[in-house]
Amino acid sequence: MPVQGEFKTIQKIKEMLLPLHRKDVKVGIGDDCSVLDIGLEKEYLLLGSDSIVEGKHFLYNMPDRSLIGRKAVGAALSDVAAMGGYPLFLTVDLGVPNYLEREHLEEIVSGMRFLLDLFDVDVVGGDTVKSDVLYLSVSVVGKVEKEKVVLRSGAKKSDWIWVSGPLGGSLYRRHLLVSPRIPEARFLVQNFTPTAMIDISDGLVKDLFHILEESNVVAELVKEKIPVHKDAKNWEEALYMGEDFELLFTLSEYDSQRMLASIGALPYRFYPIGKVVDSGTVGLYLRDGRNCYPLSPKGYEHF
Amino acid sequence: MPVQGEFKTIQKIKEMLLPLHRKDVKVGIGDDCSVLDIGLEKEYLLLGSDSIVEGKHFLYNMPDRSLIGRKAVGAALSDVAAMGGYPLFLTVDLGVPNYLEREHLEEIVSGMRFLLDLFDVDVVGGDTVKSDVLYLSVSVVGKVEKEKVVLRSGAKKSDWIWVSGPLGGSLYRRHLLVSPRIPEARFLVQNFTPTAMIDISDGLVKDLFHILEESNVVAELVKEKIPVHKDAKNWEEALYMGEDFELLFTLSEYDSQRMLASIGALPYRFYPIGKVVDSGTVGLYLRDGRNCYPLSPKGYEHF
């Protein structure tokens, strides 16, 4: 039987790789990064990985190939942001087809370089291998203070749901122009206590469901509160189109009121879009004026 | 101009990624793993990455697909062994073609599982993406005591050259049946002081040249001392066929005499195959009785 759908594949692989041997794994497969207690007094190590493949995530004959490198590195860095952490080191595996031109490789690496310089991150290893398609596999090592790490599983009833920017329309171009929300994530964990966080790669609804499932709670989004990106062709894209790479997080009622009270004075803009309304079961609703509709976890299907 | 040859590609990428931003990188791209001083008192973090691709490193229609998983994980673990360290965590990125059958995926993961169980290592993250070809990209995080880390660059004049097992014939089958020499490497660094080390993936001569170039020394191999594997069809395979995954290392004259004196009592078998005969320049010679031939770094070309 062919392997169908990312979720089932990941579930199957995850099951086959359990139980774990090591007690220093605080969080393994299933969050944006794994959380590793490797012997540092105050910090956990974060470890994540992301792949992008020609023909699936980008086309070889795109005008600006630096975006290929930026996307690959940006997606990995975004995973660290989603844990509340900061990135340190990357490894990059490159599958190199025989039609890859040297100047195109240089464009790709220059796109990586842009983000490395922006966030003081270094590529410290990798592998280059022949391949029939161009692929980039980027692994990232980061750190986060032990008391500041944010998982997907901590959302509580009465928490508010927030995003770090307007959503929708990303696939027309922005999905490659990834700007990992590391400064925003660091600001959040240093000044507030996010109870759950994820980066939006599969679409608001689908990624919110990851939080809801891991936290076992029910949420309600408020349609008119959802910030829709100017690139979006319709507001449903803000719900279902993937690859925004904005942070999606929950804050307690108390923290949310604090954030709301100072929103004009914050260095970053955050948008409250709904609330966690129940716990003990999983569900999501969209409030549109006096109506309220159930939403299902059908985002943009990556796989 | 198409990208030609692994070495040039890696060199080019390496140049484009320098200078590094971070002072905690003790060794970056260019050794088997990077060496990272992340704040542990006694240990460095090791970080490495390896990719294998269908059609280049293995065929999809092979009888025992568990070997695909074993090779991918084994090659990554072998990189940690080559630094004198021990592995802790892996991430695995999987490029999944639409013809991948679920039971074949299970075979692949079972091959990984074999090595995970053998070495108490955990897969803690990764990414599964659609791809036109099956690929596996494995990143590894390990540790090594600061005073025990072994680089490629420390070989000195009068050091002896050693290998951890017979060479040659690996590509007929053994290249997938990787047995990373972690116990051997740990035994070595705990009881001796290897001055340089690498794992043989590109062939004895080619990998020895990495040590010679990084150490800026000249070596002489002794033909009758080189252990030839029973799978080899001729002794040249011991020089040039890749993918043996044995350790190749140098020991001081003093340590070499110590090892030689106790060789029957050691838990692992090591073979002295030559010596470092000069420094200040790079070269390699093969002594065959009274004759001595120069060797050039032409191993099995991966790329």
User: Can you give the pLDDT at residue A78?
Assistant: 98
The answer to whether A53 contacts B20, with C-beta atoms less than 8 Å apart, is no
Given a cut of 90, is residue A70 above it in pLDDT?
yes
Give the mean pLDDT of A107-131: 95
Q: Domain boundaries in chain A? A: 6-147, 151-294
Given a cut of 50, is residue A151 above it in pLDDT?
yes
pTM of the full structure: 0.94
Given a cut of 70, is residue B45 above it in pLDDT?
yes
- Report the CATH number of the A6-147 domain: 3.30.1330.10
User: Can you give the pLDDT at residue B47?
Assistant: 98
Residue A4, Cβ neighbours under 10 Å: how many? Answer: 11
- CATH classification for the domain delimited by B6-145, as one of 3.40.50.300, 3.30.1330.10, 3.60.70.12, 3.40.190.10: 3.30.1330.10
User: Can you give the pLDDT at residue A302?
Assistant: 46
Using 50, 70 and 90 to split pLDDT, how confident is the model at B122?
Answer: very high
Q: Is B177 on the interface with A (CB under 8 A)?
A: no
- The per-residue b/e assignment along B265-290, b for 16 or more CB within 10 angstroms, e otherwise, is eeeeebbbbbbbbbbeebebbbbeee
**How far apart are the C-alpha atoms of A235 and A273, rounded to whole Å?**
14
Q: Is A15 on the interface with B (CB under 8 A)?
A: no
The better pLDDT of the pair A196, A303 is held by: A196
Amino acid at A26: K
User: Can you give the pLDDT at residue A262?
Assistant: 94
Q: How far is CA B173 from CA A110, A131, B145, B152, B178, in A?
A: 39, 21, 34, 28, 10
Give the mean pLDDT of B47-64: 93
% of chain A surpassing 90 pLDDT: 82
In A192-295, alpha helices (H): 204-215, 236-240, 253-261
Given a cut of 70, is residue B206 above it in pLDDT?
yes
| Average pLDDT of every residue of chain A | 93
- Dihedral of the CA atoms A33, A39, A43, A46 (nearest 10)? -10
For residue A103, list chain B residues with Cβ-Cβ distance below 8 A. 1
**How far apart are the C-alpha atoms of A194 and B271, rounded to whole Å?**
57
Using 50, 70 and 90 to split pLDDT, how confident is the model at B2?
Answer: low
Residue A104, Cβ neighbours under 10 Å: how many? Answer: 18
**How far apart are the C-alpha atoms of B34 and B45, rounded to whole Å?**
8
Is the interface score ipTM higher than 0.85? Answer: yes
User: What fold is seen in the domain B160-294?
Assistant: Phosphoribosyl-aminoimidazole Synthetase; Chain A, domain 2 (3.90.650)
Chains A–B, number of C-beta pairs less than 8 Å apart: 266
pLDDT digits (tens, 9 = 90+) for A221-271: 999 999 999 999 999 999 998 889 999 999 999 999 999 999 989 999 999
pLDDT digits (tens, 9 = 90+) for B248-260: 999 999 999 999 9
User: Can you give the pLDDT at residue A299?
Assistant: 53
Using 50, 70 and 90 to split pLDDT, how confident is the model at B13?
Answer: confident
User: Can you give the pLDDT at residue B170?
Assistant: 86
Of all residues in chain B, the one with the smallest CA distance to A20 is: B122
* CATH superfamily, region A151-294: PurM-like C-terminal domain (3.90.650.10)
Given a cut of 50, is residue B303 above it in pLDDT?
no
The answer to whether B113 contacts A137, with C-beta atoms less than 8 Å apart, is no
pLDDT digits (tens, 9 = 90+) for B210-224: 999 999 999 999 999
The answer to whether B110 contacts A3, with C-beta atoms less than 8 Å apart, is no
Structure-token pair, residue A275 = 């609330």
% of chain B surpassing 90 pLDDT: 82
Q: How far is CA B146 from CA A228, B33, B44, B275, in A?
A: 51, 14, 6, 27
User: Can you give the pLDDT at residue A130?
Assistant: 93
**Angle at CA of residue B95, ends B47 and A70, nearest 5°:** 65
Across the interface, of B89, B92, B129, the residue whose CB is closest to A53 is: B129
Residue A60, Cβ neighbours under 10 Å: how many? Answer: 15
The better pLDDT of the pair A278, B171 is held by: A278
